[in-house]
A and B are shown apart, each in its own frame.
Chain A
Amino acid sequence: MASFYIALLFLAVGFLLVGLTVLFSRLLHPRINYPEKNLTYECGIIPEGESWIKFNSRFYVIALIFLIFDVEILFLFPWAVVFEELGLLAFVEMFIFIVILLVGLAYVWVKGDLDWIKPRPELAHLPKEKGK
């Protein structure tokens, strides 16, 4: 139980420190508002438009691909911990697992979902360039 009280004390001190800092800055700082001050801070550049904009859907595709390949790491950690006891068989099994993942990666790559700049799709309703 003693360690629990230490944790509680730690928590209390944490809240107290943050609270005090906020309180002092409230008391001390001058309140002068002007439009530039209320702007979103973007490294000194004047921001354009709202922050609620539509992102390019390519971001989502890349994020989804990242998600799929990222979680497979979860299998590698327990495997790495017990690898020495399991020996060669475990190595071969994990090798096959990675190869299957690589096929998936190759598929995504060839299909062009990893290219940041895609060729412009040829849509029927767009006017063709002259001379072609």
Chain B
Amino acid sequence: MNNLESLQFFIPELFLTAGLLVTIIVELLLKKEQKVFTAYLAATVLLITIFFLIRQYAIEPAALFGGMVVIDPMAVFFKILTAVSTLIIVFFSIPSFRVKAEYYVLLLATTLGMMLMAQVNDLLMIILAMELVGLVSYVLAGYRRSDPKSGEASLKYILFGAASTGIMAFGFSYIYGLTGQTNLFEIQQALQSTQHNPVILFVAFVLIIAGLGYKIAMVPFHFWLPDVYEGAPTPVTAFFSVGPKAAGMAVLIRFIISIVAGVSADGQTFTANAPIHAQELLAVLAVLTMTLGNLSALQQKNIKRMMAYSSIAHAGYMLMALAVFTSQSVEAVMFYLVVYMFMNFGAFWVIHRMTPHLGSEEITAYTGLGYRAPLVAVAMGVFMFSLTGLPPLAGFIGKFYLFAAVIKAEWYILAVLGVLNSVVSLYYYAYVTKVMFLNRGDDESAVSISSYDTALLLVFLIPTLVLGVYWVPVISWATQSLHFFLG
């Protein structure tokens, strides 16, 4: 489809871009005390964008802008997911970034990048979309300029990010050299029709996995993550843990269904394009990712750092399901991301609002919180057990689908290792709950929380509880979205 015809299928992105520019201009015109208005403006822009996105489900899968991007239900799913996560983060950030209007502009710019990542169909577009998300994230990580930790976080982020993007682009250049194409589906056809040197393909694959793996925090490209999560302002950390990770998963899925494997017309069977053992490599990396994440999380004293390693472990679980290459595993990952969004945001919200009261981010500071702020502590306990994957919480259902996909594909060892990891994770998640309820601290004064804090806490708590017993709508949403554009 040519550029002019494509525009009618690109309305959400166009609207978001326009909203972004308007927010910048409005920010310049407002006085300092009125600047909280830009937060509401950003939220409105995102809401209208989500409305436009939902209407995109009616569109037949097609390639836009000469094959640069595609539009299909899977892209729409990930676009809605990332836009909703940013919308929540806007409300998450209002208490701490009241007058920082640029912050909301940066959030909108990242959303645009994540929406593009969800629908990439060209090597150039992959690089551009990932860099759009990356470049803005580096600035967000260093947003508290007076805090040396924040500056250090953004420095580490940009050094790792820039290097891994470069390495990924080098891998792309070999793919381009082998096939002479940059469009993912034309590359797929070229790979299927002619036999290429598997060694070069394997090298290119490893280089590309380095770039994509950095985005979703896959071991051994995870070194940046703990420092960035600890140093960045907590709303930004929460944002990084869901939106960009979901977008990275979307790119990885696209990459798997087009370059690594071919998908049959009904979307059920995946056949590898070249004998490069991609599945085995991904499975090994997944096991390494979850094991290292869980074992390192055990030793953490800072709760934000513990959540950072836990997010590495969760990336490992999702990667484990992706490694088996079935449509069921893709569906499980999509469902898990929705669940993960609520429980992870909830945990970060508690950390974010409690840190000023408790005076530190150490886990020991949470001692006796169950007696000082019962609602917050109960909610935190629910989020922790849901992250572990205990029934009857949402995290259990999410993990159940992930493991079911792995077992159905008969990768039993992988599933066993995954379950063992979940058991290990129970220890550090339960430890937080234990210090909150079973121990009493020195300070027993009640912690007062505002109604805004409570309202947002319920926004995260209720889905975490409800999705544990009534998950059918979300899983059927994921099933409906499991419809790819296949060239």
A: residues with CB less than 8 A from B are: 89, 93, 100, 103, 106-107, 110-111
B28 interface residue (CB < 8 Å to A)? yes
Given contact pairs A100-B21, A103-B21, A110 touches B28 in the complex (Cβ within 8 A): yes
Is there an interface contact between B4 and A89, defined as CB atoms closer than 8 Å? yes
Q: Is the CB of A107 within 8 A of B28?
A: yes
Provide the residues of chain B in CB contact with A100, threshold 8 Å. Answer: 21
A89 touches B28 (CB 8 A): no
CA distance A111 to B21 in the complex (A): 16
Minimal Cβ-Cβ distance residue in A for B29? A110
Q: Is the CB of A103 within 8 A of B4?
A: no
Chain B residue contacts of A111, Cβ below 8 A:
28
* Cα–Cα, bound, A93→B28 (Å): 26
* Interface residue SS majority, chain B: helix
- Interface positions, chain B 16-31, Cβ under 8 Å from A, are 21, 24-25, 28
Contact partners of B8 in chain A: CB under 8 A: none
B3 within 8 A of A: yes
Q: Which residue of B lies closest to A106 (CB)?
A: B28
Evaluate contact between B25 and A103: CB separation under 8 angstroms.
yes
In angstroms, Cα B3 to Cα A93, docked, is: 10
Distance between Cα atoms of A110 and B28 in the complex (Å): 7
Complex: chain B residue closest to A96, CB-CB: B17
List, in ascending order, chain A residues with CB within 8 A of B3's CB.
89, 93
Q: How far is the CA of A89 from the CA of B2 in the complex (A)?
A: 11
Query: Are A107 and B4 in contact (CB-based, < 8 A)?
Result: no
Residues of B within 8 A of A89 (CB): 3-4
Nearest opposing residue in chain A for B4, CB measure: A89
Contacts of B28 in A (CB 8 A): 106-107, 110-111
Give the residue name and chain of the B residue nearest to A111 (CB): B28
Q: How far is the CA of A107 from the CA of B28 in the complex (A)?
A: 7
Shortest beta-carbon distance, A130 to chain B, in Å? 28
List residues of chain A with CB within 8 A of the CB of B4: 89
Determine the residue in chain A with the shortest Cβ distance to B17: A100
Q: How far is the CB of A37 from chain B (nearest CB, A)?
A: 45
Q: Smallest CB-CB separation from A92: which chain B residue?
A: B4
* 11 pairs, CB–CB < 8 Å, chain A vs chain B: A89-B4, A93-B3, A100-B21, A103-B21, A103-B24, A103-B25, A106-B25, A106-B28, A107-B24, A107-B28, A110-B28
